[in-house]
Chains A and B, each alone.
Chain A
């Protein structure tokens, strides 16, 4: 286990190094910079700004400076939000996205898994068709449409929830449903197909023949085995949902991290682009690590240290 963990940490460093370098180079390759404005700045004004943010240094030096600062966990100042640092922007936005995202992940898992199981157990019957057709809807309706529909019916028409903003629990319901719909549908489908596969296997038949009841059969024998594809999906999905979504955060005006992923690129806010890319990559690597651990817990045949020996 220890050996495995150290290997993963090493690969995390390598992944982050590649991500940072690629992002850094791509970002500087896009035409226009953080201070390309509609009202063009006077040359001397631009010179002062470039000097202040060290943008007049050669690119390799900016790169090595940046790498040095990252080792100190200093992501630098935002170019757009002049009085805020990237660390502060992440510290402000991430807890909000995390709250909202956790609720969405919870909803997706809590409804997706049972729905998939029910569909598998009622294979080719009404409930199966119901779950599958609603999951097709969940996958194909974009979140901004779903969000608008939810606002229209649940905020305007029956005035159950606020239309937008972020002031407590009631403000979290509509955005978390909008965020959860897609992963919920995907989970239901994955769960259904892997459950069907497991149910057709020999050990299930054996268990049935031995007289194990339906509930126990599903819970103890089939569920664990069929969760593997779902867990594989939930890991990176959770990393994505927890860091927020541009669309949902814009529509509901939620002060999360998600919108910075898009606006920082429009603004060419170099430090913010890099900072949140690094943050997101680290989170994805971490969640994949959790997924690997979950594999071991779910299936004793999988071992993290020894490869190729089953």
Chain B
């Protein structure tokens, strides 16, 4: 090809480009039909509620499907596909009454059989769901999943098309909350039964939520339109939702600031301060705790006094202010804010209060001396391990400096790639390791049961018979007040023994255009677009 041809081709391309750019900026401007444009955090692994495991899936499924219950803005479970439910006196049997007018997107009635079918297939060894554990609350759920009993033995039964009877392994007062999670969503039995692939594509998915998926282009975008057959369609305001699937947090900010999306979350920490100042973002609590685990089986961290000394000798307020910068809440305990306590309107964390003082260097020094290491003398070399990430590194370095300055304790830092790190933690092949926990539903039990002996996520390998006893007692207690009281006791014991070093409670930064209204988000950062609209 000659240079002239090259050149003319290039000019042609450039002109076409300019022409197309000109076109895209003149969209139609009918304000009543504006779609809600959301910057979604990642590509869903699947759209089958039975196989979903995380945030990206949940965000899609929450718009498309509806469980027996749903969350309101205060994290309470409220009636959704079920109009009401009853609990037996022993707390073991729940009877859900499904709305007569609950409909699938093809107009079929949503039945109790659909729920029974979805839950049982989720638990089946063949589907091999990664979130099967979410349904181990059902009687024989675990036994069926491990192939010990038949599906008929699982504690869920459609008594009639509108009545679902659920039997549990143990009384679970937060069961109505659980049924709002996507793992408990129904699937359209008639179409899915013989062809499970029908849950994969927009053309074949039949769903029962406020919206139905009409297009999904992988790793790029998805479109939902209002489901006219939804029982509560009168309350659904937006005709259309447009999700852009954007993994990179800087790109989400770019799209938001360039007016390509109306709402998104989790910008890079370095942008948070500016976005708040420009009134483009707001911060809300997120149900998660950032902490470190001590490997308690090995010296010197087999001594609670050493663990406590290190925990007390750090300045969390400084960390959240100078290092993490997204208004995280310095943790004085383990269970984060945002979980209801027994009394209406009260918060578990506020009732429990703080179990230790932040930056309490004096007590820390005293404890370290009592443990036999005055001013850090005599301590073996200590290494702190974190998974490779700028944010974790900054916090680890802050801790390293504080321990050196406040206690004279020298700590080495080392980092590992994520999955290597997970292996290291599970094997207990560390001294101090970064850790974190975010809950799937708002109950203190998701945080406390982590530290039961032999829990796979108890990286500290801490074992305490009294703690185990308290947790199992709380699991079988049905009266809300006494149950919550036992959980407060368990947390107090955990904080007395200090196998973990809480640093802060997570927050979530939402970037919201001022004209976006009506959406509800939970403390686990799932967004309900049911009543959302753009003015």
Q: Do A and B bind each other?
A: yes
- Choice from B251, B258, B456 contacting A40 with Cβ under 8 Å: B456
B247 surroundings in chain A (CB, below 8 A): 250, 253, 259
Collect the chain B residues with CB atoms within 8 Å of residue A32's CB: 418-420, 422-423
Known: A40-B457, A42-B133, A163-B255. A266 touches B17 (CB 8 A): no
The distance from the CB of A237 to the nearest CB of chain B, in whole angstroms, is 18
* Residue in chain A with minimal CB distance to B47: A83
Q: What is the 8 Å Cβ interface bit string for chain A, positions 104-143, against chain B (1 contact, 0 not)?
A: 0010001000100000000000000000000000000000
Asked if A162 lies at the interface with its beta carbon under 8 angstroms from chain B, I say: yes
Task: Kindly list chain A residues whose C-beta atoms are within 8 Å of the C-beta of B423.
Answer: 31-32, 36
B346 within 8 A of A: no
Nearest B residue to A164 via CB reads B251
Interface pick from A46-54, A67-75, A286-294: A46-54
Within 8 A of B (CB), among A51-103: 51-52, 80-84, 89, 92-93, 103
Contact across chains for A165 and B221 when beta carbons are under 8 A apart? yes
Given A80-B45, A110-B10, A164-B246: A268 touches B254 (CB 8 Å cut-off): no
Per the bound structure, the CA–CA distance linking A42 and B51 in Å amounts to: 15
Measured in the bound complex, the distance between the Cα atoms of B422 and A37 in whole Å is 7
B31: chain A residues at CB < 8 Å are none
Interface residues of A in 164-193 (CB under 8 A from B): 164-170, 172-173
Residue in A84, A169, A266 whose CB lies within 8 Å of B419: A266
B205 to chain A, nearest CB (A): 11
The winner among A38, A93, A161, A172 for most chain B CB atoms within 10 A is A38
Contacts A42-B456, A251-B251 known; A47 to B426 CB distance under 8 Å?
A: no
Would A155 and B258 be within 8 Å (CB), given that A250-B248, A253-B244, A268-B419 are in contact?
A: yes
Across the interface, A51 reaches (CB within 8 A) one of B125, B221, B244, namely: B125
Q: Beta-carbon contacts of A254-274 to B below 8 Å, as 1s and 0s?
A: 010001000000101000000
B130 with A35: CB separation less than 8 A: yes
A93→B258 CA distance, assembly (Å): 25
Any A CB within 8 A of the CB of B89: no
**Is A40 touching B419 in the complex (CB atoms < 8 A)?**
no
| 0 or 1 for each of B182-210: is its CB under 8 Å from A? (1 = yes) | 00000000000000010110000000000
Pair A259/B250 contact, Cβ less than 8 Å: no
Considering the complex, give the chain B residue whose CB is closest to the CB of A40: B456
A84 to B48, CA, bound (A): 12
Nearest CB of chain A from residue B399's CB, rounded to whole Å: 21
Interface presence of B46 (CB below 8 A)? yes
Q: Are A173 and B251 in contact (CB under 8 A)?
A: no
Q: Which residue of the partner chain, among B45, B133, B146, contacts A81 with CB atoms under 8 Å?
A: B45
Residue A45 contacts which of B43, B145, B217 (CB distance < 8 angstroms)?
B145
Q: Across the two chains, which residue of chain B brings its CB closest to A110?
A: B6
Which residue in B20, B45, B128, B221 is a CB contact (below 8 Å) of A49?
A: B128
Contact between B244 and A165, CB atoms less than 8 A apart: yes
Determine if A160 and B419 form an interchain contact, defined as CB atoms under 8 angstroms apart: no
Q: Is A151 an interface residue (CB 8 A)?
A: yes
Expressed in whole angstroms, the minimum distance between the Cβ of A193 and any Cβ of chain B is 20
Instruction: Assess A156 versus B258: contact at CB under 8 Å? Given A48-B145, A168-B24.
Output: yes
A169 touches B16 (CB 8 A): yes
Taking CB atoms, residues of chain A closer than 8 Å to B255 are 163-165, 253
Q: How far is the CB of B389 from chain A (nearest CB, A)?
A: 12
CB-contacts of B342-395 with A (<8 A):
none
Given A32-B422, A163-B255, A164-B246; A48-B218 close (CB under 8 Å):
no
Q: Is the CB of B220 within 8 A of A173?
A: no
Interface residue? A306 (CB, 8 A) = no
**Chain B interface size, under 10 / 10 to 19 / 20 to 34 / 35 or more:** 35 or more
A170 to chain B: closest residue by CB: B21
For A168, give the chain B residue with the smallest CB separation.
B20
> Does residue A39 face the partner (Cβ distance < 8 Å to B)?
yes
Whole-angstrom distance between the Cβ of A8 and the nearest chain B Cβ = 26
- Our pick among A39, A82, A83, A250 for the contact of B251 (Cβ within 8 Å) is A250
- Residue contact A163 to B254, C-beta cutoff 8 Å: yes
Tell me, rounded to whole Å, the shortest Cβ–Cβ distance linking A73 to chain B. Answer: 20
Q: Give Cα distance in the complex from A270 to B189, angstroms.
A: 32
**Is residue A44 contacting chain B, with contact meaning CB distance below 8 A?**
yes
Contact of A30 with B by CB under 8 A: yes
Residue of A nearest to B256 (CB): A163
- Residues of chain B with a CB closer than 8 A to A93's CB: 218-219
B46 touching A161, Cβ below 8 Å: no
Chain B residues near A31: list those with CB within 8 A: 419-420, 423
- Min distance, Cβ A262 to any Cβ of chain B, angstroms: 11
Residues in A whose Cβ lies below 8 Å from that of B130 = 35, 37, 41, 45, 49
Least CB separation from B43: chain A residue? A81
**A156: which B residues are within 8 A, CB to CB?**
254, 257-258
Tell me whether B128 and A151 are in contact (CB under 8 A).
Answer: no
Instruction: Check B6 against A44 for contact (C-beta < 8 Å).
Output: no
Residue in A35, A155, A161, A165 with the greatest tally of chain B CB atoms within 10 Å: A165
Instruction: Provide the residues of chain A in CB contact with B6, threshold 8 Å.
Output: 110, 114
Is there an interface contact between B197 and A83, defined as CB atoms closer than 8 Å?
yes
User: Is the beta-carbon distance between A164 and B260 smaller than 8 angstroms?
Assistant: yes
Complex Cα–Cα for A110 and B255 (A): 31
Identity of the chain A residue whose Cβ is nearest the Cβ of B14 in the assembled complex: A173
Q: Does A295 contact B (CB under 8 A)?
A: no
B154 contacts the other chain (Cβ, under 8 Å)? no
Q: How far is the CB of B288 from chain A (nearest CB, A)?
A: 11
Given contacts A83-B47, A165-B220, contact A42 B132 (CB under 8 A): yes
- Closest B residue to A166 by beta carbon equals B220
Q: List 8 A-B contacts (CB under 8 A).
A: A42-B132, A93-B218, A155-B254, A156-B258, A161-B21, A164-B254, A165-B220, A253-B244
Which residues from chain A sit less than 8 Å from chain B, CB to CB?
A: 30-33, 35-42, 44-45, 47-49, 51-52, 80-84, 89, 92-93, 103, 106, 110, 114, 151, 155-156, 160-170, 172-173, 219, 250-253, 255, 259, 266, 268
